[in-house]
Amino acid sequence: MVNAGFYVVIAIFILLLVTLAKGVRLVPQGNKWVVQRLGKYHNSLGPGLNIIIPYVDSVAYKVTTKDIVLDIPSQEVITKDNAVIIANAVAYINIISPEKAVYGVEDYRLAIRTLVQTSLRSIIGEMDLDDALSSRDKIKAHLKNAISDDISDWGITLKTVEIQDINPSGTMQTAMEEQAAAERARRATVTRADGDKQAAILEAEGRLEASRRDAEADVVLAKASQQAIEMVTAAIGDKEMPVLFLLGEKYVKSLEKVAVSPNGKTVVFPADLPNAIKGLMGRS
């Protein structure tokens, strides 16, 4: 039979192994473990080999020291001018003091998400729709300043916060599209009206310029006719025959034009052409 002392040795050996296992802790890189001694916070273990008192000390929390990405859910936000927009964000945090993160707040992830959402509603609520849609950097700066001090009390630092999407709601987007279409139609109408106005002005200016040129041409022709008459008068003096010849020539050419006209059927020549011309001249 096996001696009872053997079982005692085996039991002691197993107890030593368990005790050793409870007293030695290997913490992975990028983590910190929070140790409690008899239910009270004692210290935080860094990466590597650590020794604790078995059965007295215990690892209560395992916290990562790497950057944590927190996705902030989308939410509806009302702007200063009562427009509804949908916004969401993403926050990058890092735990500096694990004991503050686990003992200072029940759930630091939920707390930070709620804090970011509340601050985001407050910031956008003080802005008009156009400013909110075009001022992401401004919202980001205000949001970071608003939550950095609060989460520092939990031993957490805010690396950065980014606005992922900020868009009008479906109803607002439809209204904005209709407003934009109306504005484009108004601009098109104004442009057409301006074009018609400019065309009318140019046409009137063209008619005015043409009339001015016609008047100038009439004046030139009148002056030319005056000079021609003066030259002819100076040349012939009181002699009638040259005048009769010239007028007769003009008269015959006019009758020829009438003869070739489609509407002219019968051409009548005076029997006494010289006396007819004298009659036109008012001479007997």
pLDDT in 10s for each residue of the chain, 284 residues: 456 777 778 888 888 888 888 888 899 999 999 999 988 999 999 999 998 888 888 899 999 999 999 999 988 888 888 888 888 899 999 999 999 999 988 899 999 999 999 999 999 888 888 888 888 889 999 999 989 888 998 999 999 999 888 888 766 666 666 667 777 778 878 888 888 888 888 888 888 888 888 888 777 777 776 676 667 667 665 555 555 555 666 666 666 666 666 665 555 555 455 565 555 555 55
Residue 70 near residue 112, CB atoms below 8 Å: yes
Question: What is the C-alpha to C-alpha distance for residues 190 and 79, in angstroms, rounded to an integer?
Answer: 32
| Statement: the pTM of the whole predicted model exceeds 0.75 | no
3-class DSSP assignment, residue 41? strand
68-168: CATH topology = Tetrahydropterin Synthase; Chain A (3.30.479)
CA 218 to chain centre: 60
Question: What is the C-alpha to C-alpha distance for residues 133 and 168, in angstroms, rounded to an integer?
Answer: 8
Residue 69 near residue 45, CB atoms below 8 Å: no
Compute φ and ψ for 245, nearest 5 degrees: -65, -45
Q: Which pLDDT score, from 0 to 100, does residue 119 have?
A: 92
Percent of the chain that is helix, strand, coil (3-state, to 5): 55, 25, 20
Question: What is the C-alpha to C-alpha distance for residues 84 and 82, in angstroms, rounded to an integer?
Answer: 7
